[in-house]
Chains A and B, each alone.
Chain A
Amino acid sequence: MFCTRRDFLKATLGTSTLLSLTSAAPNFLVRKTMAAAPRHDDRNTILVIVQLSGGNDGLNTVVPYADDEYTRNRPTLHLQPKDVHKIDSYLGFHPRMEAFSRLYKEGHLSILHGVGYPNSDRSHDGAMRTWHTAEPDDPDCQTGWLGRAADSVWHTNRKDTPAVFVGPIVQPFSLMAEHVIVPSIQSPDDLTLDSTPAKFQQDHAADKGNELLRFVQECTTKARVNSRRIEAVTKAAGGAEYPAFRLAGTLRTVAQLIRADVGIRIFFTELGGGGIGGFDNHANQLGNHCALLHQLSESLAAFIHDLKRDKLLDRILVMTISEFGRTVKENGRRGTGHGVAAPIFLAGGKLKSGLIGLHPSLTDLDNGAMKFHTDFRRVYATVLDKWLGFESRIILDRQYEPLDILNV
C-alpha cells in the first residue's frame, strides 16, 4: 500500500491522538505546509502597468511651458501656457489631461522625471525589449522582468497565477517567464467557467496516493471559486462609470478582477496598439498625441476613482512605461524623433509626493534628446521590493538603489 495521509498522520501525531483529530488534523497540516512554503507574496498589494507603445513625447505630456527653449524648439508643436493645467510656475499637464491634473491635486499621481537608461540605440525593438527584459546589456535575454517576478514567487502548491496581461495584442515580452504560464485575457469571461460543474467534483475523494491529482483538484476548486467571485463582481449593479475608450474597458476589467480577489498581483495593460504603437509620431503629432493622452488621462482617472470608492486604492500602484521619450526639437513634419529620457507616471493611494526628481535640461542634450538621470531599473527595483514585496535582487540580477517614492 502507498504511504497514505493516515500513515503520515500516524507518524506525525502518534496513534493515540489520531482518532480525536481526524477532522481537525488535515486542516492543521494544510496550514503547516503553507507556512513552510515561500512567503514572498503574502502581501496583497497590486501593480498595474500601462504601456504607452511607440515612445511617448514626455515634453508635450508634462509641459515645461515657462521654458523658452521649449517654445523655441517646437515652433508648431508647443502648447500654450494658458491651455496647460498648471502644476507649478514651470510645468503643466497637456490641455487634454485635465483628469490627470485632478488626480495630481488629490495626491493620487506622481511624476518621475528623467527616467531612461544608458546607451539606448533608440530603436523601437531594442528600447522596448530593454524595458521588457530590464537587461539592456543582454540582447539574448529570454525572459521579461515581470515574468521573472512571477517565477520568483512560484511554489509547488501555488494555485493562482500571480500575473496577467489584459488586452487584445500579443502578450508583451515583460511577462515572458521561464516557468510560470502568464495568461492573456481580454475580459473577465476568460477566467470564468462557462458552466458550473456539479459540486461533487470538488468533494470526491480521488486516488489517495496521487499528489498530482490532489493538486489539480485544488486548482479546479480554486478556478471554480474564482469564477463565482468574478461573476458576482461583473454582475453587480451600480458599477462605476468608465469612458468608452479601449484602455478604460481594459482597466475596468482589471478593477473587476481586483475586486474579485483572485490572487493576481500584477496586471499589464497597454495603450497605443500592437506593432510600433500609436505614440510614435514622426509627423503631424499634435492631434494624435492629444487623443491618446486624453484616453490615458480619463481612463486612468476613472479606474483610480472606481477603486477609491471601494476603499481599495491603498493596495493599488499604477505605473506607465514607454520605450523612450522624444527629441526636444520638432522635425520638419510637425513630429518628433526618438529620444532618451521621459517621465514615468505613478498613480495610486500610497504615493509620497507629486514631483520626483528634476525636470531634465532642455539645453544639455544627448544627440538632440533630454538626458536621463534615473535608471528605470531603480524604479523597477523599488516597485518590486517596496511595493510587491518581491526580491528585486533576484529578479533584476543586481541590487539597485531604491527610490523614496512610496508611502509604505
Chain B
Amino acid sequence: MAVQIEKLSDSGWAWAAYEPDAVRPWNLAQAGHLYRRAAFGASWDRLQQALSDGPQRSIDKLLRPQADTVAFNRVFDEYEASVGSMDGLRAWWLRRMIQTPHPLLEKMTLFWHSHFAMSGAAVKSTRLMQQHVGLLRSQALGSFRRLLEGISHDPAVLIRLGAANNRKASPNENLAGALVETFTLGADHCTKKDIREASRAFTGWFVLRGKLRYIPREHDENIKQILGREGNFTRDDVLRILLEQTATSQRLVRKLYRWLICETEQPGEDLIAPLAESFAEDYNVLRLVETMLRSNLFFSPAAYRRRIKCPVEFALGIVKALEGTISTTQLATDLADLGQNLYDPPTIKGWAGGRHWINSATIAGRHNLASSLLRGSGPYADKLNPWIVAKKHGCSTPESAMKFLLDLFLQENLDPVVYDTLLKTDQTGIGNGSDDIEGKIRRFARAVITLPEFNLA
C-alpha cells in the first residue's frame, strides 16, 4: 500500500487507467465503490455483472450504456411537463434517478444542479425549472462550453439572479457575478471591476413572459475592460474570455475531483494540471469524467470511502440495493429534511456538502429514514423487503441472508468485531415487531445501513 500512496503523487501514474493485478485486485469492494460514485448504488445483479465484466467494461457501460437513454428520458420529460408543482418535479427526478438506464448522467446532472444552483423557490415557475434541469441534463456529460452558454440564455437563471430586465442604464451585476465568479473563475481570479464591466456586456437581454428576448437598444455598446482585455464585448464574448482562463478549467476539475474522487484532501497542483489542460481544449465533460473514473487514483485507498454521501445518495443506495419502487414524493420531503431539497439548493453556490451534511440531528434523520424505508408499513409501505431480495439471490437461511446483506450494502471487510457482533446481536425496533425471519432480517438490514460506513460514498 505504501508504494501505491507514493505513486499517487506521480500524476502520470495517478491518472493512468487502473489495471487489476495481484496487489490491487478487482473485487466486490471496487465494484461497489464504482457504483456509489458513478451511479446511485447498485443491485446485487449489477454488482455481480461488474465483477465479471472487470473495471474497464463496467466503466464503458456506465459512460455509454447500450439501452436507449434518449427514449427513456423523453418519456420522463413528458411526465415532468404535465406536473404542476415543484414537488412533482422532485418526485419525478428521484424516480428518474432510480430507473434510468444511464445513472451517471443523472449523477452528473445533480453535480451541475449544485454548481449552477438555481432555486425553484426564487424562480417561482415549475416550467422554467423543468427546462433548467433539462438543460443541465442535456450537457451533463457533454460540453461545458455549451452548458455555460445555455445557462447564460436560461430564463430561470436570469429570473433567479434578478436579471430579467437587464437595461443599459442599470446593468445587473448578479448575473455577471454568478457567471464570472461562481460558475467559472472563482473569487480569487476576478475583481469587482471585472464583474461590473462584464455586467454591461450582458445588457439588452430580457425575460418576457418566460421567454428570452434581446432588445438591441438596451445593450451597452461601449468599450468594456474584462480580465485584461478591452473591446465592445457582448455576452458571448465574455463567455469566450471566461473559458480561455486557466482558472476556469482548474476550478471545474477540482470541483469534479471532490465529487468523484475524494473530498478529504486538496489535490496538488501537479495532479490537477494535466486534466485541466486537457479539459480546457474543448471542455468535454465526458472525457474528463472518463479519465477520472478509469484512473489508478479512483481505485486507490486515497479515494475509497473518502466522500460523505449526500442525502440522495444515501437513500437511493438503499433503494437500488433492495430493488424496490417506493414513493418518491415522500422521499423528496424526507430528503429536504436532511438538507437536500432538490430544485431548491440553499444559495447559488449550491450545497456545501462534505462534513456539512452530517451532524447529530441529520444522523438521527438518516437513521429514522432508514428505519422508515425498511419498516414494512408506514409512508413507504412494504416496498423494500431485504429477506425477499436475499432469497431471490439464493439465500435460504437467516445467517446466509445476513452475510449477503453485508456484501450488498457494504462489500468491504468490516472490522471483525463489528461483523461478528452484528451477526450475533438481535436488533430491535422495526419489522412489524415480529420475531419471524422477515422481521429479523429487516432489523438486521437497518443495523447495517445505519453503520457510519454506510454514510460514506
Q: Which residues of A contact B (CB under 8 A)?
A: 1-2, 139-140, 142-143, 154, 156, 158-161, 164, 176-181, 183-184, 190-198, 200-201, 204-207, 209-213, 215-217, 219-220, 222-223, 226-227, 262-263
Contact = CB atoms under 8 A, between A and B. Distances in A.
A212 B367 contact: no
Contact of A142 (B348, B357, B360, B455): B348
Contacts of A176: 346-347
Interface stretch (B67-75, B266-274, B387-395, B417-425): B417-425
Given A184-B337, A194-B368, A213 B305 contact: yes
B421 A200 contact: yes
B415 A164 contact: no
Contacts of A161: 359-362
A253 B12 CA distance: 57
Nearest to A202: B452
A219 B367 contact: no
* 10 interchain residue pairs of minimum CB distance: A195-B429, A181-B339, A142-B347, A223-B363, A216-B452, A222-B360, A179-B352, A223-B360, A200-B421, A217-B452
B455 A178 contact: no
A226 B365 CA distance: 13
B352 A198 contact: no
8 contacts: A160-B360, A195-B427, A204-B421, A210-B306, A212-B263, A212-B355, A222-B363, A223-B363
Contacts of B346: 142-143, 176-178
B337 A195 contact: no
Contacts, number: 149
A196 B428 contact: yes
Contacts of A263: 360
User: Chain B contact residues (Cβ within 8 angstroms of A): what range?
Assistant: 35 or more
Contact of B452 (A1, A160, A220): A220
Contact of A195 (B430, B451, B453): B430
Contact of A219 (B305, B363, B368, B421): B363
Contact of B361 (A160, A178, A209): A160
B358 interface: yes
Residue from the set B348, B358, B360, B425 with the largest chain A CB neighbour count within 10 Å: B360
Nearest to A139: B162
B456 interface: yes
Nearest to A217: B452
A262 B421 CA distance: 29
Nearest to B119: A142
A183 B418 contact: no
Contacts of A142: 346-348
Contacts of B305: 207, 210, 212-213
A168 to B, nearest CB: 13
Interface string B136-178: 0000000000000000000000000110000000000010000
Contacts of A200: 417-418, 421-422, 425
Contacts of B348: 142
B355 A156 contact: yes
Contacts of B64: none
Contacts of B356: 154, 179-181
